[in-house]
Structure 1
Amino acid sequence: MKRDADIERKTRETDIQLRLNLDGKGYSSIDIDIPFLGHMFELMAAHGFMDLDVKAKGDIEIDYHHTVEDLGICLGKAINQALGDKKAIKRYGLAMVPMDESLAQVVIDISNRPYLSYRVPLKKSMTGKFDVGLLEEFFKALVNYAGITMHIKLISGSDAHHIAEAIFKAFARALDQASQREERLDDVPSTKGLL
């Protein structure tokens, strides 16, 4: 069964088309009008072994918030759709990824219970024109629409760009691990029989 999704979202603030294949090779075609976020999506695809095509335009002349949040919504929807009934998946994923002085940890439970713990003390930290503090809004939207529990923790780091890279790479690795098929299981990975 192919685990992919096509998502479109068009509002007065954003216009997004996103295609995801969870069982890809890490290929990406990213056209986001926020270059730094486009860079993060490329890293995410490569390190999560997902194929990802994204075209996104937003009202960035106002600020980046709408585009960042709506990309989280779209990616979350795509993950949820691609996982389908969630039968025979590992469910849990954990990754710790360094990027020079930065070290980030991401833990995922594909639980159908949206929750985000975001322990990254970056408020109004800029890398170029991008406020890395907006990444919390991205991940909030993502967990809500993906139906996953996620804990993101910055263990160390001082450079905002490196911190963001470590987080996105750790997220990608944890998602890849949690979404892998479990051949020993025929049903959903829950004693309740339902996620």
Structure 2
Amino acid sequence: MLLRFLRIPKIKTVAIPIRELSNLSIGKATTAAKFIPVLETSTNTIQNPWIYRQNDNFNLPRCPNLKIDLPNTIKTIIPAIEPNKQDVIEAPAFDDSIKKEAVKMIVIRRKKMKKHKLKKLRKRMKFEWAKKRQRRELKKEKAFQAELIQQCKEAEGFSAEQYVKDKISEFKKASETLSEAEHSTKTETKIIVNK
């Protein structure tokens, strides 16, 4: 009576053998029969969806048996080649001039390759060129320093008294030669006048 009131389906017990892991022993397998409750479904009883969910029978559409044909391209008939027909193949005309295709592209490519190679070379030779530059600058600096040292030595060896004496002696020599030249010109003019 209570089952009808709650509308719970009747439970039917069936013996199904189940293997338990605890009953297994090495060498032989033992099975223990247990009773598992299985729900009995009948059309007479009303099912409560909250207690038991009834399986709905789905009828899936069946795929009709379709015949698959080959693609249309294979169905086309290939025309037969005439066996007696002979095509004459002519030799190409002999031309010495080689036609260049895409000349501008070649020029651009060469330009780009030169640029790329130059970049690569600069990257590879960066430190070697820096060493050369440093050596050149060092050589220039050494030459400049040597010139400065020589000028300093000349300045240290300079004597003002000796310089003045030299200048006076040069002036005296110049004045003597000048007076001799004047004297000779005067005598020459006298001789010319007397004639």
Smaller-chain TM-score bracket: under 0.3
Answer with 1 or 2: which has the greater Rg.
Answer: 2
- Give the TM-score, by structure 2 length: 0.16
Scaled by the length of structure 1, the TM-score of the pair is 0.16
Task: Flag the structure with higher helix content.
Answer: 2
